[in-house]
Amino acid sequence: MKLQPASEMAKVAEENYEKFKQNILESEEFESLINSIEEAASEGCKTLLYNVNPSCDPRTMDFLKSVLMEAGYGVNGVLLKSHAMRITW
């Protein structure tokens, strides 16, 4: 067995991270997040405390936070132990 160069492993990791992010965007978790925001807004709320599945990969929380912030939402209180985030709009 041969040790692959670090540059090759970095390339593999980046390609797979892109797949990971795409899987999140196509997941039921992401659909649930969108539906929860829409429901809260329909009820006249400008904030949502959203709980992410506790068994999710911690990178999922980071990615969801970045997607929300890119769309103009505020995200506070992302706590890995609680898997909860406060989303504002």
pLDDT in tens, 20-72: 999 999 999 899 999 999 999 999 999 999 988 878 888 888 899 999 999 99
| Separation of alpha carbons 42 and 59, rounded Å | 30
Count of CB atoms within 10 A of residue 48's CB? Answer: 19
Q: Where along the chain do its domains lie?
A: 6-88
CA dihedral 48, 34, 24, 56 (to 10 degrees): 30
| Separation of alpha carbons 75 and 7, rounded Å | 34
pLDDT in tens, 77-88: 765 566 789 999
17: amino acid identity, one letter: Y
- Whether the pTM exceeds 0.85: the reply is no
